[in-house]
Structure formats: structure tokens, C-alpha cells
Structure 1
């Protein structure tokens, strides 16, 4: 019987190339959120598919912005976030907030959440949170945020991301 590989031996193993990793992981269906903040002068936000409920006690949520994001540093500085879980009919919002440098809030109806971050109208759910800690993770950052308030519209259906595209439960 052979021994378990050591951490150093694991580090020497090569992984899949980025294209294969993206293609295979694309088979994991996720929800779609727009994470927003307000810096006191203007709103900021970006689309994110990596939102995860992390802990009930204390109430933590996690998400992973790319290190190339120009929006995340602005949200990080504001600290108070709103994670807007998008509904099935909000594909245009998801696409608009995924574009770098655009006026992402143009034509988007929103109001300040209790923490001041933009809460987008018509979403499936809203999670207000405050950034607690970040961890380096390759080409992304793992953000852990403390949930301060949340609500959901039980009558709405989710916007989903699957195989590189947006859809819903009824998509064919």
C-alpha cells in the first residue's frame, strides 16, 4: 500500500489547462448576482456567479471577484455591499454589469439598502453585507462578508448561468 502524497508532491502535479477547466466547470449551474456598493458619490457594481452561503453562525456569505476587476477595488473601499440575486428576467442587468468601464447603472432602477449599497429593483433576493476578510486565491480573491440583512421574493424565479450562457428553469 502506498503512502498519501505530500503537499510538496501535490504542488508538482500539473492541472488542466484554463480552457478545459472553464469548459468542464461550466457544467455546474450557478445563480447570478450583481454585487453593488456606493462610495458616497456614485454606485459601483459587477456581475458575479460565485456567491456562496458560507456560515449561519456567524452569518457569512462568500464570493470571488477576479483580480482583474476594476470594480472590486471600489466596492472593497466602500465595505458595505448589496448582493442582488437576479431573477430570470434580468439577463440584461447581468450582461450590463459584466462590462468593464460602462455606466452600469444607466437605466437600472435601484434604491439604497439599509447599509447604503444599491438594491436593484425586481431581484429574486437581496443580501446586505459588510466585508470582513479577503484571501488570495490564484487569479481571484475569496471575499468573506458578514450578512447584516436579507430578503427574498418567493414568487420570482432565478437567472441561471450554465455552459457560458444565461437561462432559467424553463429554457430549452
Structure 2
């Protein structure tokens, strides 16, 4: 017996990439900025933990992105978890063809990786695996260091826009 969810209409005529895009727009994701020495950086919503022992994290980046060559060459990267008041950073680091670091306060950390000032939390990691997966580059890194005040509400991306999180109870 086949059933269809009441709120979802079948879309078998759409190509799989469009089905994926439409479906994942409904998934809320935390917003991060990934930076590497150069400096280079980009906005990512694909950041996740991989393992606690060893401490590993990962993110994906379009293989054709302007930051991809710098990411492939980097011996260290930083992931910055953005707060609700940092939509300007998310938009700035998502923009192509501009100096993404213009007007952004940052400090070079070990290995020359840029650490953005004022983010709720950040970590640095050493890449241990880079793999092309479809049209993206998967980067897995071993956590080296972390910091930040870990306060405030997060910036969240959902349905093509930015928002924040509010507990339900």
C-alpha cells in the first residue's frame, strides 16, 4: 500500500536535483563561515560533527566555488558559528566576486587561519580527508582548538532566508 503525506503533492516530473533542492529548503540549518589561510572563506550550512574520538568535523563546498582551491591547499581551517545578529557576515561570505574580508574584524591564528571577531563560537581543524562527492568537495578535519563565549541565539537558514531559534518550551 502506497500512501502520500497529506501536505506533500507528488512531484515525479521534477528532476532529482530539483526535488532535493525543494525538500532541503524545509530543513533548518545553523549558519557558519569557514575560513582558510590566504585569507579565503565562505558561508556554509553543511557543517556537522563526525566523531568524538577522534574529534572530527566536516563540511561541504561546491567543487567549483571560488574558495575551493584555497580550501584544497589549506593545512588548517576555521569554522565560525554565527549568531542571530550576524546575517551580514553570512551574506558577505556568500557573495562571489568581492573581497569577503573587507570591513570584517579578524585575527590570524595558528597556521595563518583567519578567526572572525565576535562570533559566538569557533573551532580550528586540520584537514584529514578531502574527497569529491558529486559536484561538491567533502572536507573532514581533526579539531585542534575552539573558543568563543558560546552565548546568544544562533543564526539559522531555512526556506531560503535567515532567522533564529526560539525554544518551544
Task: Return the alpha-carbon distance in structure 2 between the equivalents of residues 145 and 98 of structure 1.
Answer: 22
Q: Is the 8 A contact 1:158 1:168 kept in 2?
A: yes
Match of 1:72 in 2: 68
What SS does the corresponding residue of 1:22 show, helix, strand or coil?
helix
Task: Return the alpha-carbon distance in structure 2 between the equivalents of residues 87 and 29 of structure 1.
Answer: 15
User: What do residues 26-72 of structure 1 show as CA deviations (whole Å, max 9, x unaligned)?
Assistant: 11111111110113xxx110111000000111111010001121112
Which of 105, 118, 126 matches 2:101?
A: 105
Report whether the alignment pairs 1:124 with 2:125: no
User: What do residues 80-116 of structure 1 show as CA deviations (whole Å, max 9, x unaligned)?
Assistant: 1111111111101111111112100011111122342
Which of 36, 55, 58 matches 2:54?
A: 58
Task: Return the alpha-carbon distance in structure 1 between the equivalents of residues 27 and 113 of structure 2.
Answer: 29
TM-score of the aligned structures, taking structure 2 as reference length:
0.85
Match of 2:25 in 1: 26
Q: Is the 8 A contact 2:76 2:127 kept in 1?
A: yes
Find runs of 4+ consecutive structure 1 residues off by over 4 angstroms: none
Which of 159, 163, 168 matches 1:167?
A: 163
Q: Is the 8 A contact 2:131 2:138 kept in 1?
A: yes
Which consecutive unaligned segments of at least 5 residues does structure 1 have?
Answer: 1-14
| Alpha-carbon distance, 1:16 to partner | 4.9
What SS does the corresponding residue of 1:103 show, helix, strand or coil?
coil
